[in-house]
Amino acid sequence: MYEALVLFSGGIDSSTALYWSKSRYKTLALTINYNSRPEGEIDSARKIIRYANLELLEIDAKFIKEAFHFYNKFEGDVRWPFYIASKNLLFYAIAAHYAEYMRIRLIVGGHNSEDTEFYTDATKEYIKLLNMLLKKGSMLYNEYEIVTPLVNLTKIDVIKLARELGLPLELTWSCHMNGKIHCGICYGCKSRRDAFNRLYIKDKTTYER
């Protein structure tokens, strides 16, 4: 029934990937509710799915935790507290589980070029290896592959594409904190604000600070 399965969070990148897929294939979205996932993000994901008139497959995976559950001190990049060990290995494996049973041809990820500078499991090389691994291990159906249509795009480029595709950016979620509105000061909020400012686009997001 479905041609593409999109790993979907409700953020700008995965939402753009969703709309990219929706414009080309019969698409199903998959979202994973890991431990401490922001409620605002979950709510945004559901709103976007309703707006896009698509079906959402929600998976509860509370055993998957972010780094701050295990460590209370971080040095360097401010994204470290929200790092999830083996995240893409876990998330794509869950997607592959459904793709094999449902005979879905494409698993779509929304990584952009800036993600690959920090997250080693979002690089082209990693995805290529993961595709090889999944293909070798699939016994019922192995004609699917992971595709990352945004991997050569910057965040600015992604937002431009999102607007071309008709994505309601105001429904997307970027905040790392668990609030009902964007906190305004975390890495996700700051990068969101910066991107909108650089594009001279009105940011309809409500920020706490």
pLDDT interval class at 29 (50, 70, 90) = very high
Percentage of the residues of the chain whose pLDDT score is greater than 90: 98
Q: pLDDT (tens digit, 9 = 90+) per residue, 36-60? A: 999 999 999 999 999 999 999 999 9
- CA dist., res. 108 & res. 38, Å (int): 22
pLDDT, mean of residues 193-202: 96
Q: Return mean pLDDT, the chain.
A: 97
Residue 20: the pLDDT is 98
Q: pLDDT (tens digit, 9 = 90+) per residue, 162-180? A: 999 999 999 999 999 998 8
pLDDT interval class at 155 (50, 70, 90) = very high
Rounded to 10°, the helix 155-165/187-198 angle is 70
Residue 54: the pLDDT is 98
pLDDT, mean of residues 23-34: 98
Domains of the chain, earliest start first: 4-174 (3.40.50.620)
Residue 172: the pLDDT is 98
Residue 95: the pLDDT is 98
Contact indicator for 175, 182 with CB cutoff of 8 Å: yes
pLDDT, mean of residues 104-109: 98
A 10 A CB-CB count for 52 gives: 19
Contact indicator for 35, 136 with CB cutoff of 8 Å: no
A 10 A CB-CB count for 160 gives: 16
Residue 82: the pLDDT is 97
